[in-house]
Structure 1
Amino acid sequence: MTAALEMRGISKSFPGIRALADVDLEVRAGEVHAIVGENGAGKSTLMKILAGVYQPDRGTISLEGEETRVSGPIDARRRGIGMVYQELNLVPDLTVAENIMLGATPSRLGFVRRRRLHDAAVAVLDAFDARVDPSAILGSLTVSQQQIVEIAKAYAQRPKIIVLDEPTSSLSEHEAQALFHIVRRMREDGIAIIYISHRLREVLDLADRVTVLRDGRRIETRESSGLTAGEMIRLMVGRELTDIFPKREVPIGATVLEVEELTRSGAFDEVSLHVRAGEIVGLAGLVGAGRTEVARAVFGLERAQSGAVRVDGVEVQARTPGQGVKAGIAYVPEDRKRDGIVPSASIKDNIALPVLSGLSTGGWISRFRERSLAREQVDSLGVSPPVIERAVDTLSGGNQQKVVIAKWLAARPRVLILDEPTRGVDVGAKADIHEIIGELAAAGTAILLISSELPEVLAVSDRIYVLHEGRISAELGRAEADEATVMHAATGEAVHS
């Protein structure tokens, strides 16, 4: 059978960096071919070459057996290559139908043919059994629905090859099932699907074959049947990682954080929880259940209408993040690029931000103390490369996340709220970040952990609160928590049982 795509001997270098070295990739029509590897392994560079964003230094691309040169993204689309990037590329103020048909809007004499536009979008959505209103404004949809629209837009172009880059990174495992149905439907249609994900379990469930990249080289391509997550990790990182989410047993102390009947209309209602010193408490639930909104209200980013927050028994009036920090609360947000870092600023400047007043005398910042603090945090957390003057946006995702954590650790918080701390980072960085979390718990920090990756929550939490539609639907001890129990509570089934 002729492969839908063959990339042979692909090499690409940037100033001072060899991104790809003689990489081969073959993808067949009607298969899901996963590409896995740590951040910086070359996955994105390889896909940008396929999309025509970059031109390779060496190597060839063949589509259906015919060697070709992809001159740019428009040429890629014309040749039947569809790209769905991790960052959604949609227009929030347009309707679902208008987004799906972007670039191919039916018109006559300069006027949009609304009926044909609507019918074309409905046909695409029906092909996926997607329950999305084509006339709805895109910005009113949930993240998972917008992800479906993004894939539908690519599918509407009748591609022969579709690249899905981290399509479930913003979805809970429950919501990801709808996306998997769409991927399988596209596979039945004979589309060649390239699937990039750090979630190894879904790779094994979905992919027919898996290609592993490491340090810009193809390490191996294997059939997924018989392949284990442990083997993939060993191939990806070149070493054994026996426990991606290590759980360190530490003494649990007195209650540090108390949240009592916290309410904000339309977001969450009468949420009560507590976290003790040295304890890691998971906050689970589907996307949209109110997890992030609760975290932001506790920290002071959003104002609750009623309820109370206490740290070490003292009520906190956290109406601004500054007040939250002063009370001993730190918050690592789910979107590190938008809310967690100043991308163009240096590692040193980012780490110093929450504690500038403590580094100043008479309004003047002590550059020596600023550098010493940054050096201490970078060495402690293993930020790589350990160059404190380097801009944060030049680091890998995992190292950017370490900088966000370092920034808040410099403030020495009593309570650390971690919202999706390992989203979009590779397995090596996940293990590093969880080692850091374990050390913080051992030092007596009270940790509230939010994650859409259920195995992560189950593995590291001492207790778990589950949110359903803005309310706590279950509180589970470590011994009684499993995936089925959490999902029952997250979907509301436990509420009515």
Structure 2
Amino acid sequence: MTQATNLQPASSPIVASVIGCTRRYPGVLALDNATFQVAAGEVRALLGKNGAGKSTLIRMLTGAEIPDSGSVSINGAELSHAGSGRAQESFEKGVRVVYQELSLVPGMTLAENLFLGRWPRKGGVIQYAEMEAAAAEAMGRLGLDLPPNRLVAGLSPAERQLLEIARVLVGKPTIVILDEPTSSLAAAEAEKVMAAVTRIASEGIAVIYVSHRMNEIRQIAHSATVMRDGRIIDTVDVKGADTREIVRLMLGSEASRTAALENTGSDKVVLEVRDLALAPKLNSVSFALRKGEVLGIAGLLGSGRTELLQSIAGVRRFDAGQLLVDGATVKPGRYKEMLRRGFGYTPESRKEEGIVPLLGVDENTLSTNFSGVSKTGVLSSRMMAQATRRVIDRLHIKAARTDTPIGTLSGGNQQKVVIGRWVYANSRILLLDEPTRGVDVEAKAQIYAIIRQLAAEGRSVIFVSSEIEELPLVCDRVLVLRDGTLKDEFISPNIDQDAVMAACISGH
């Protein structure tokens, strides 16, 4: 791999420098002696798997974090504040960031959103004409031709993303950081965002572009910095870089193969998906799930993994295609019907959608079938405690009492309860969306063991994860979701995480 030492635009000054920065959290070395620089007018891609240190590096630049050692400089001036004023200092020096989660207010106009919290006033009165003129100018810089007095609620996803980018152009930014700006967009919409990035860079503004979509990165980035385990591994010329080599830099020398899992599956197909489509993410997805099989679905953020599970679970009504359960066609968009047929679904967002924090472990566990712990229609405290204790003991959930509020448990134990809910319901087909997100290493290993045990009992599992390295540890097969369809298949013991990652970003 060619070291990219002069990939920034010729003669362009360095606008942001992170020199020898280290940041430790309890039990975690988040940033390890990292040195990073970006020049005016440069588009620098920032690559790395989850936990590589990308977010910590970004927080250093924005002033949200202070390094334990090392320095951060913007336009040649070191950030010097040690408290809450550091973020304001970074902002005043021209650092802007657009996070993955959009922060627009749908009920406000485009202009009001662009100047949110900074509305121009005169004598205490908001100057709407001035605000709308400045908003039109900022949007025009990105080719966004929309009325400034239009409500955000009526915008398309791409227009909302562009509006977020336009908001950071208000003022005089010198560096703009974009965190997965196209992850929720279809290909045609993503092109508009990339065109906006090119426009920004042409004005001499440095851009840090966080993404794994290699086709986008090759189109717009001058170079890519790869991070791993809190360290800057290399900075490379993306136009000449081989995708597999970039994957190797991201994953390092980690063992990419694992010992063969004990295959507990049979040839009986319990679920068949035929040509499922759900605009704009899915266009033709087909696969079969067998009894006792753990089937992994890999793909980039925004590839449609969650939409696929929701379509199967009946949470979403898909546009076209067929679902067959035990050979019989089922109608789309009927969640209760899928539950009746033995499906269980755990959502990606555990805290927002998976649990009721103030309710007990018992109520969260038994919510799928309260009738099983009732007498003549009245809940039995004794039966609830007994049923919950069986799930707690089986899944090794650490809870002082069966009625302990689930919100007081660790993330790993909360996730075990979410899975345990479907164990209690005796669900035979489990749809697990990021079941190990936000849990520690020990809890992950326990969840893997739980899933393998459920498979050994004849239950079937679809396991969606953005952490490629865990798929070989738990899955019998892995399918790669890319460009709205399933592109590649890997079968244990030949699930090579380097190859899976390359398949995810190939064409991207």
TM-score, with structure 2 as normaliser: 0.66
C-alpha separation between the residues in 1 aligned to 2:322 and 2:242?
A: 46
State the Cα deviation string for residues 162-211 of structure 1 (Å, max 9, x = none): 11111122222332111111111111111111111233443333321211
1:430 is aligned to 2:468: yes
1:459 is aligned to 2:488: yes
C-alpha separation between the residues in 2 aligned to 1:428 and 1:300?
A: 22
State the Cα deviation string for residues 245-285 of structure 1 (Å, max 9, x = none): xxx9x99866746899999xxx99xx999975449999x9x
C-alpha separation between the residues in 1 aligned to 2:349 and 2:227?
A: 26
Contact 2:142 2:162 in 1 (8 A): no
SS of residue paired to 2:136: helix
SS of residue paired to 2:467: helix
Q: Which amino acid is 2:468 matched to?
A: K
C-alpha separation between the residues in 1 aligned to 2:276 and 2:29?
A: 54
Q: 1:302 to 1:41 in 2, by over 3 A?
A: closer
1:229 is aligned to 2:243: yes
Task: Give the Å deviation of 1:416.
Answer: 5.7
C-alpha separation between the residues in 2 aligned to 1:423 and 1:126?
A: 39
State the Cα deviation string for residues 55-85 of structure 1 (Å, max 9, x = none): 1111111222233325433222211000111
State the Cα deviation string for residues 287-346 of structure 1 (Å, max 9, x = none): 9x9x95x97576454799xx9987446787999855532322334546565334668999
From 163, 166, 170, the counterpart of 1:152? 166
C-alpha separation between the residues in 1 aligned to 2:67 and 2:233?
A: 19
Tell me the residue number matched to 2:6.
none
How big is the alpha-carbon RMSD for the aligned residues of Structure 1 and Structure 2? 5.2
Tell me the residue number matched to 1:364.
385
Q: Which amino acid is 1:459 matched to?
A: D
SS of residue paired to 1:69: coil
- Percent identity, aligned pairs only, is 32
Task: Give the Å deviation of 1:240.
Answer: 7.2
Q: 1:458 to 1:411 in 2, by over 3 A?
A: farther
Task: Give the Å deviation of 1:97.
Answer: 1.5
Contact 1:347 1:392 in 2 (8 A): no
C-alpha separation between the residues in 2 aligned to 1:114 and 1:428?
A: 44
Equivalent pairs counted in the alignment come to 426
Contact 2:97 2:168 in 1 (8 A): yes
Task: Give the Å deviation of 1:119.
Answer: 1.7
1:57 is aligned to 2:57: no
SS of residue paired to 1:97: helix
Unaligned residue ranges in structure 2 (runs of 5+): 1-10, 258-262, 374-380, 398-407, 439-463, 491-503
1:31 is aligned to 2:42: yes
C-alpha separation between the residues in 2 aligned to 1:361 and 1:112?
A: 62
Tell me the residue number matched to 1:487.
none
Q: 1:154 to 1:344 in 2, by over 3 A?
A: farther
State the Cα deviation string for residues 91-123 of structure 1 (Å, max 9, x = none): 222111111122442322222222222221111
Task: Give the Å deviation of 1:129.
Answer: 1.2
C-alpha separation between the residues in 2 aligned to 1:319 and 1:370?
A: 30
Task: Give the Å deviation of 1:218.
Answer: 1.5
From 29, 39, 45, the counterpart of 2:56? 45
Unaligned residue ranges in structure 1 (runs of 5+): 377-388, 442-448, 462-482, 484-497
Matches within 5 A, 1:159-170: 159-170=173-184
C-alpha separation between the residues in 1 aligned to 2:168 and 2:188?
A: 23
Matches within 5 A, 1:17-416: 17-69=28-80, 71-239=85-253, 256=271, 276-278=288-290, 292=307, 299=313, 301=315, 311-312=325-326, 321=335, 324-333=338-347, 338-340=352-354, 362-366=383-387, 369-374=390-395, 391-392=410-411, 413=427
Q: 1:417 to 1:17 in 2, by over 3 A?
A: closer
Q: 1:240 to 1:366 in 2, by over 3 A?
A: same
Contact 2:284 2:485 in 1 (8 A): no
SS of residue paired to 2:49: coil
Q: 1:317 to 1:114 in 2, by over 3 A?
A: same
C-alpha separation between the residues in 1 aligned to 2:145 and 2:236?
A: 35
Matches within 5 A, 1:439-478: 439=477, 453-454=482-483, 457-459=486-488
Q: 1:357 to 1:15 in 2, by over 3 A?
A: farther
SS of residue paired to 2:209: strand
Contact 2:366 2:384 in 1 (8 A): no
Tell me the residue number matched to 1:475.
none
1:8 is aligned to 2:41: no
C-alpha separation between the residues in 2 aligned to 1:225 and 1:422?
A: 35
Q: Which amino acid is 2:383 matched to?
A: G
SS of residue paired to 2:177: strand
SS of residue paired to 2:196: helix
TM-score, with structure 1 as normaliser: 0.67
Contact 1:29 1:191 in 2 (8 A): yes
